[in-house]
Amino acid sequence: MKFLGFIIVCLTGALLLYGTGEFPGWGDPHSPASIHLSNDYIEKAVEQTQVPNLVTAVLADYRGFDTMFETAVVFCAGLACFLLLRDFKEKKERFYRHTPTGVILHVKDSKKVLKTGKEFEHMDKDWVPSDLIIKTICRILIPFIQIYALYVVAHGDFSPGGGFQGGVIFGSSLILLAISYDLKVLVKRVKEKILGIFSAIGVLIYVGIAAICMPMGGNFLDYSKLAPLVPGDPHHVRALGMLGVEIGVGIAVTAVMVIIYINIVSEGRHEEGL
Amino acid sequence: MTDLLTLIVAKYNYWLYVILMMIGLYAMIAKNNLIKKLVGMNIFQTAIILFYVSIGYKRDATIPIIQNAHGGNDAHAAVIHAADYINPLPHVLMLTAIVVSVATFGVAMALAVRVYQRYQTLEEDELRMRLVDIGPEK
Amino acid sequence: MDNYPAIIVITPLLAALLAGIAAWTEERLSYPIALIGLAVSMFAAFKVLMQVITSGTINYRMAGWAPPMGIEYTIDLLNAMVLLIVASIAFFNLIASYKSVEQETNDRAGSFYAIYLLFVTGLLGVTATGDLFNLYVLIEITSLTSYTMVALGDRDRGPLASLNYIFIGVIGASFYLLGVGYLYLKTGSLNMVDVANILSGLHGSSTILVAFILCMLGIWIKMALFPMHVWLPNAYSYSPVAFARIVAPLMTKVMVYVMIRLMITVFGLDYIFETLNLSEAVVWLATIAVLAGAVMALAQKNLKKMLAYIIVCEIGYMVGGAWMGNQLGMTGAILHILNDALMTFALFLAVGSMVYKLKRVDFIDLKGLFGKMPWTMAGFVLAAFSIIGVPPTCGFFSKWYLILGAFEAGAYHFAAALVISSLICAVLFFKVFEICFFEPMPEGHGHGDSSSHVTIEEAPLSMLIVSGLVSISLIVAGLYSGTIVNTIILPFLQ
Amino acid sequence: METIISIKPLLAVLVSLFVIPVLVSSSGKPNVRESWIFVAGAVKLVLVLSMLPVILEGKQIALTLFEIAPGAAIAFRVDGLGMLFAIVAASLYIVTSIYSIGYMRGLNEHGQTRFVSFFALAISATIGAAFSANLLTLYLFYEILSLATYPLVTHHQDATSRISGRRYLTFILGTSIALVLPAMIYCYHVTGTLEFSTAGIFTGQLSKPAALVLLLMFVFGFAKAGIMPFHTWLPAAMVAPTPVSALLHAVAVVKVGVFSIVRVITGIFGVDLLADFNLGVVVMSIASVTILVSSCIALSQDELKRRLAYSTISQLSYIIFGVALLSPQGLTGGVIHIAMHAFGKITLFFCAGAIFVATGKKYISQMQGLGKKMPFTFAAFFVGALGVIGLPPTGGFYSKWNLILGTLEAQQTIFMLVLLVSSFLNAFYFLPIVFKAFFGKSEEEDNKTPVKIQEANLCLVIPLIITAIISVVLFFYPTMFVNLIKIGLSI
């Protein structure tokens, strides 16, 4: 197998290199790729869409259709992880800590569930005493991370950023919560049901905005036809449309990030993670 | 020889991407551990991203964000030279490709977890033996 | 309203999202939502086909941007036909699948339907799009969903099979993506028509050659052309029947469509057959694929596996026909996309009903099935005849065109392979029939009472009706294949 | 030649298809079911006969259903040959239905509904083949017939029928897919049409070797005609209930095979082409080998039905032989033998079945002295035997006579000898049965345990008497069939 693999790899590499023979030099400003379409984008995009960040303009408008399915892919991944891993069966054995004494109880049968309140605390099997410093620092950091994420989403039109980036950052803030405290905290804060619904709603916002354009008399995704619906300068309607879909993307990505994380670290049990 | 060198120097990042991709592909084919295969898969996809991004690069040009175009309308005033900005399209495409590969990777990880839950191993040869153990197929 | 092209693809997506929400809030709504979504999409596809037949190709600009800057849907006769096939098969399968989904997905029907609809969305998009990169994204949607489904089926082997499927699938998709990259680097465009125009000046460029090879390799891996088929049998036989019934007829056919689309629209037949002159080699490959698929099918002991290998063999038919380099062959290949979709659908419908009743479909489980499920078996027999190529079922007529094309191209080995494979298929299916017809029902096995006298236990009515419809459509499609060729395929090829 | 567009041929084909659902639905009530069979059979016969006068006027009836590709449609055209075959099949279908009721009920077989349904399907396919306007349609019905007969052959659903069913399919389906299909498509590829025409469809595209290969592919490919070495399915198929053997293996199936070969020789290649290439002799020699060998084998068979089967094989080759003579006399003799042999051989099969039902005896050696107990049956058997041997006063004589004239006409003296020899062989393996039956000492007389044996029930006896009478009548009035042939082949 190894040898065969090696042969295949070498053949592929040779093929690809053979192809590079006629490539234009790297960074050649006159290569077809840099002439044919990109010039149109660079020159026309701003006046057509009022969005100086060309990547966002192309991503969310010219090729917005791609991006919609890309978001659908994200949604699909979340759904897949849920379907594949989520396991609603209760875990067999549980560990509780009696807060006042610090005594640890080991409950064998899954039926018996102690009420976790101020007296008992449900804890992970391989439990490490949670570190105060980490907890505190993360508690301070997380809000800033989330603000930053929102900024990245909102400001994607003018500076590097956009729905995906923002969504990822926001999701990672939540994941940080799960890492610094433990999974139960996250699951308690962000209900699984909410995540599931939001992952769909995020995409729905995108598809919805795109679909509304059709009854408004435009083609699918044609934001310019939304002018009657949105207040303000009709010039900016495209930019606003993009902002809308970026928000949708952000929501979807956040939700899916968390879904994937929760399901994978807890093998779908949602009881204890890393 | 020298011209080969010049060729390589002129397009070294294409050569790099090819090498990177070969590494990834080899890992996917030859490695015995499923997680290693997954890592190989990521390297493979990253190589492609490198390739696309290098297509987009343009000598002495900056990122495709139009300067002093905030607020839009005065963008007409500032005249835009295509030569000043690199090609935005490959970056867009790669944004999509990255998301796709992440999604795929997520699903693959989930599957790996499932496999581990069922067989308590991720080594292919051991898995094969396990499969023989559980007998004829459903 | 001229938005039908978009609606075909969008409604399943919307339905998928709503079903995804319903899965969390009101589970029983998800099925009707899915049903409505697919019905609308099928209707739109029908309208589009009619429109294309009467008034020529439709160009639909996403976001209203003119290509190549924007993404465009270019719907001509070919993909209008394929769109209708995909949408309608997805719809009817959904009708047939309600019971088996209940049976197989433990209380997660909602999410199942969401994935199912996403898969259909992907297929429809792949078929409709006129943009190379958009094609890639949609291929990935279909792949991602099918990875999931495969893993959901067989508890023991599903996940592992699916993981291997992912590795191969990713390689395939990435090859295609690389091919597109090479094309983009040379042409600077992603719109199929635009690329084709620029390419016409670039014949003989090594980069384009590599791009072509990469694209073809990628698509071949995705369509499981021998010897790149290894993922298919497991993937199809481990996935839940509700899904196997749609992935088996559609996935490979749509990929064949993509191949034909790339050959005709992007690279151009004259480039492939005159500049490169690869026809010989690929037809030989197809010949081997046909024979290998048939022979491997002979070795199977499980009905699903056997059918999976028959699909591998059928793919050989279409690839061979498409690469024959003459109009007859191409006609045969395109006609076979339709016919093979129908036949495979009919076969897997029957198998689905069997699985629903018997749980297992190893050959030994099929004893006395003619007595037990006569109507299901009737459908199965008809579909089998179509695969074997017995007139007047549709399988015969596409075979007719393929063999004619082979004769015209002088590819007698391919014609021989077709004949041999239909002989082998005859052997395969009559092996099954004999078990179902001669061997009495085993005691104490199967469903309900295991008394020696056979009791009729048919599949649910929904399955029977659908499989009845499809079986009839096999014959109708066969008898009207002349009309189909004259109104759709030949005009497209001219 | 004037052509009339009419839907009658289609109806004639479909009538027994339409009746199948009725049969299935009335599976509980045998009498209702059988009455429906008769209705369908009668309607079919009437439809066929209603077209007869038109045909005899020298016109044709045509109907194109589906245009698959230019020159290859699914279409019907009723001409002399088709008419002849259709009349034989349709009329014998009714007789056989009566017979099969008696037989199936006499032995109360299982799955009678399935039996009659597929029977109806088979007869539809036969009529369809008779009325086919082109090779594609003919092939279509040929295949349908093969598959429709499979459940009939394997009706008993036991090990032996499984094996013989397997052999049946291997030869019938295998050859038709492996040989006929490519040959047919090649013809279409070369000429762009598959329409039967007495001039043939080839206009000099074929070299002699190519023509030879194609011809052989067709002659062996239509394995229903039982040309050696593709004959073994026929004896194997004798495990089927006797009505099946009678209709399908004396009339429908085997005759469709022969009919197809006749069509190919006269309609695809055209007599003249073959004459130019002088390929008739090849076919004739193949046929002669089959005739002689199978006759010899028949001599050695003790089971009556197997002996009949082998005699069928040799008789079928007579027809091919006659057509391959490529001379008017030969063609006439060959084609008319389709009819003559049909009536003769079905009589024999009916007798075999009747004997089996009445006495449970299958083997010729057990049949000594039965003639006294079952006079009508054995009388009919005698007539049938005469018909097959080709002696007056039976129609068989007429066809034999024409064949021999044909050989003389074509100066093929050796082949004439073949005919004579084989006729003697026929006589040797049939007549002794009758003589033993009438004059031999029956077993009961040796061992004094008299077993009560009398004629089988009327449903069995009447049909065989009818067919016997018909085959005698045909000796005196063969003219209609002859005219049909002359019209059909325009000779």
Amino acid D433: pLDDT = 83
Give the full edge-to-edge strand order of the sheet including A120-123: A103-107, A94-98, A120-123
Please list the residues that pair with A105 across neighbouring strands.
A96
- Report the gap between the CA of D71 and the closest CA in chain C (Å): 11
Q: How confident is the model at residue C445 (pLDDT cuts 50, 70, 90)?
A: very low
A102 Rama class: left (phi>0) / alpha (psi -120 to 50) / beta:
left
Amino acid A132: pLDDT = 85
Give which of D185, D191, D205 to mutate to test C binding, by max C Cβ within 10 Å. Answer: D185
Cβ-Cβ contacts under 8 Å, C205 against chain A: 22
Residue contact A5–B113, C-beta within 8 A:
no
Q: How confident is the model at residue D230 (pLDDT cuts 50, 70, 90)?
A: confident
Amino acid C212: pLDDT = 94
- In what helix (H) or strand (E) does residue B74 lie, and over which residues does it extend? none
pLDDT at C18 over 70: yes
**Cα–Cα distance, D46 to C486 (Å, whole number):** 38
Amino acid D443: pLDDT = 60
Task: Kindly state the average pLDDT of the residues D351-376.
Answer: 80
Give which of D135, D155, D170, D189 to mutate to test C binding, by max C Cβ within 10 Å. Answer: D189
D205 domain-assigned: no
**Cα–Cα distance, D258 to D264 (Å, whole number):** 10
Residue contact C419–D157, C-beta within 8 A:
no
DSSP code for C441: P
Helix segments in chain A, DSSP class H: 2-20, 32-35, 38-49, 54-57, 64-85, 132-154, 163-180, 183-189, 192-212, 237-265
Q: How confident is the model at residue C444 (pLDDT cuts 50, 70, 90)?
A: very low
> Smallest Cα–Cα separation from D281: which of D382, D425, D381, D413?
D413
Q: What is the DSSP string of C77-126?
A: HHHHHHHHHHHHHHHHHHHHHHHHHHHHSTT-HHHHHHHHHHHHHHHHHH
* pLDDT tens-digit series, residues C167-218: 999 999 999 999 999 999 989 899 999 999 999 888 888 899 999 999 999 9
A111 domain-assigned: no
By mean pLDDT, which of A128-132, C101-105, D38-42 is the weakest?
A128-132
A226 domain-assigned: yes
Residue contact C62–A61, C-beta within 8 A:
no
Domain count for chain A, please give it.
1
Residue contact C189–A223, C-beta within 8 A:
no
Q: How confident is the model at residue A202 (pLDDT cuts 50, 70, 90)?
A: very high
* Range list of β-strands (E), B21-124: none
Q: Which residue has the higher pLDDT, C462 or D370?
A: C462
**Cα–Cα distance, C173 to C132 (Å, whole number):** 12
User: Measuring CA to CA, how many Å separate D234 from each of B119, D225, D245, D313?
Assistant: 57, 9, 9, 8
> Smallest Cα–Cα separation from C156: which of A83, B32, A81, B119?
B119
Cβ–Cβ < 8 Å for D76, D63: yes
Intervals of chain B under pLDDT 50: 71-72, 75, 138
Q: Which residue has the higher pLDDT, D335 or C452?
A: D335
User: Does C191 reach chain A within 8 Å, measured CB to CB?
Assistant: no
D454 domain-assigned: yes
Q: Which residue has the higher pLDDT, D428 or A202?
A: A202
D368 domain-assigned: yes
pLDDT at D164 over 70: yes
Amino acid C135: pLDDT = 95
Mean per-residue pLDDT over chain D, rounded: 85
Please list the residues that pair with D78 across neighbouring strands.
D61
D299 domain-assigned: yes
Cβ–Cβ < 8 Å for B14, B59: no
Q: Which residue has the higher pLDDT, C25 or D371?
A: C25
- Report the gap between the CA of B129 and the closest CA in chain A (Å): 17
Residue of B nearest to A249 (CA): B99
- The winner for highest mean pLDDT among C485-494, D17-26, D363-372 is C485-494
Task: Kindly state the average pLDDT of the residues A209-236.
Answer: 86
Residues 111-130 of B with CB under 8 A from A: 111, 113-114, 117
Amino acid A182: pLDDT = 80
- The winner for highest mean pLDDT among A87-91, B111-115, C99-103, D452-456 is B111-115
Cβ–Cβ < 8 Å for C236, C248: yes
Where b means 16+ CB within 10 Å and e means fewer, B83-95 reads: eebbbbbbbbbbb
A115 domain-assigned: no
Chains D and A in direct contact, meaning 3 or more beta-carbon pairs closer than 8 angstroms: no
The single-letter code of the amino acid at D216 is L
DSSP code for D3: E
Count other Cβ atoms within 10 Å, centred on residue A142: 16
Closest by Cβ to B57, choosing from A26, A57, A235? A26
D66 domain-assigned: no
Amino acid C439: pLDDT = 79
D458 domain-assigned: yes
**Cα–Cα distance, D430 to D382 (Å, whole number):** 8
Q: How confident is the model at residue D67 (pLDDT cuts 50, 70, 90)?
A: confident
SS3 at position C74: strand
- Report the gap between the CA of B68 and the closest CA in chain C (Å): 24
Residue contact B92–A55, C-beta within 8 A:
yes
Cβ-Cβ contacts under 8 Å, A37 against chain B: 87, 89
**Cα–Cα distance, D77 to C91 (Å, whole number):** 41
Cβ-Cβ contacts under 8 Å, B93 against chain C: 133
Residues of chain D with pLDDT > 70: what percent?
A: 97
Residue of C nearest to D163 (CA): C434
Residue contact B30–A1, C-beta within 8 A:
yes
- Report the gap between the CA of C185 and the closest CA in chain B (Å): 7
By mean pLDDT, which of A50-54, D298-302, D370-374 is the weakest?
D370-374
Residue contact A18–C23, C-beta within 8 A:
no
Look up residue D58 and give its two tokens. 């020298």
Amino acid A117: pLDDT = 67
Cβ–Cβ < 8 Å for D387, D351: no
Count other Cβ atoms within 10 Å, centred on residue D114: 17
To the nearest 5 percent, what fractions of chain B are helix, strand and coil?
Answer: 70, 5, 25
User: What angle do the packed helices D253-263 and D304-324 form, to 10 degrees?
Assistant: 10
**Cα of C158 vs its chain's centroid, Å:** 21
Q: How confident is the model at residue C348 (pLDDT cuts 50, 70, 90)?
A: very high
* pLDDT tens-digit series, residues C36-64: 999 999 999 999 999 999 988 999 998 88
Task: Kindly state the average pLDDT of the residues D347-357.
Answer: 84
Please list the residues that pair with D67 across neighbouring strands.
D73
A3 domain-assigned: no
By mean pLDDT, which of A13-17, A58-62, D373-377 is the weakest?
D373-377
Residues of chain C with pLDDT > 70: what percent?
A: 97
- Report the gap between the CA of B47 and the closest CA in chain C (Å): 10
Cβ-Cβ contacts under 8 Å, B18 against chain A: 13, 16-17, 20
SS3 at position D82: helix
Residue contact A37–C189, C-beta within 8 A:
yes
Q: How confident is the model at residue D259 (pLDDT cuts 50, 70, 90)?
A: very high
DSSP code for A52: S
Residue contact C112–A83, C-beta within 8 A:
yes
Q: How confident is the model at residue C81 (pLDDT cuts 50, 70, 90)?
A: very high
Residues of chain D with pLDDT > 90: what percent?
A: 11
**Cα–Cα distance, D378 to D380 (Å, whole number):** 5
Domain count for chain D, please give it.
1
**Cα–Cα distance, C342 to C383 (Å, whole number):** 8
D49 domain-assigned: no
User: Does B52 reach chain C within 8 Å, measured CB to CB?
Assistant: yes
Helix segments in A181-236, DSSP class H: 183-189, 192-212
Closest by Cβ to A33, choosing from C62, C151, C184? C184
Amino acid B72: pLDDT = 46
Sketch out chain B's domains with CATH numbers: 2-61+83-133 (1.10.287.3510)
Give the neighbours of chain D: at least 3 Cβ pairs within 8 Å.
C
Residues 132-151 of D with CB under 8 A from C: 136, 139-140, 143-144, 147, 151
- Report the gap between the CA of C13 and the closest CA in chain A (Å): 8
Amino acid C449: pLDDT = 39
Cβ–Cβ < 8 Å for B14, A20: yes
Residue contact B18–A17, C-beta within 8 A:
yes
Cβ–Cβ < 8 Å for C184, B55: yes
Task: Kindly state the average pLDDT of the residues A36-45.
Answer: 86
Chains A and C in direct contact, meaning 3 or more beta-carbon pairs closer than 8 angstroms: yes
- Tell me the residue range of the domain where D488 lies: 279-491
- In what helix (H) or strand (E) does residue C73 lie, and over which residues does it extend? strand C72-75
Positive or negative: CA dihedral A239, A243, A248, A252: positive
D106 domain-assigned: no
SS (H, E, C) C306-325: HHHHHHHHHHHHHHHHHCCC
- Tell me the residue range of the domain where A157 lies: 48-88+130-265
User: Does D110 reach chain C within 8 Å, measured CB to CB?
Assistant: no
Q: What angle do CA D259, D113, C443 make, to 5 degrees?
A: 115
A12 domain-assigned: no
Q: How confident is the model at residue A179 (pLDDT cuts 50, 70, 90)?
A: confident
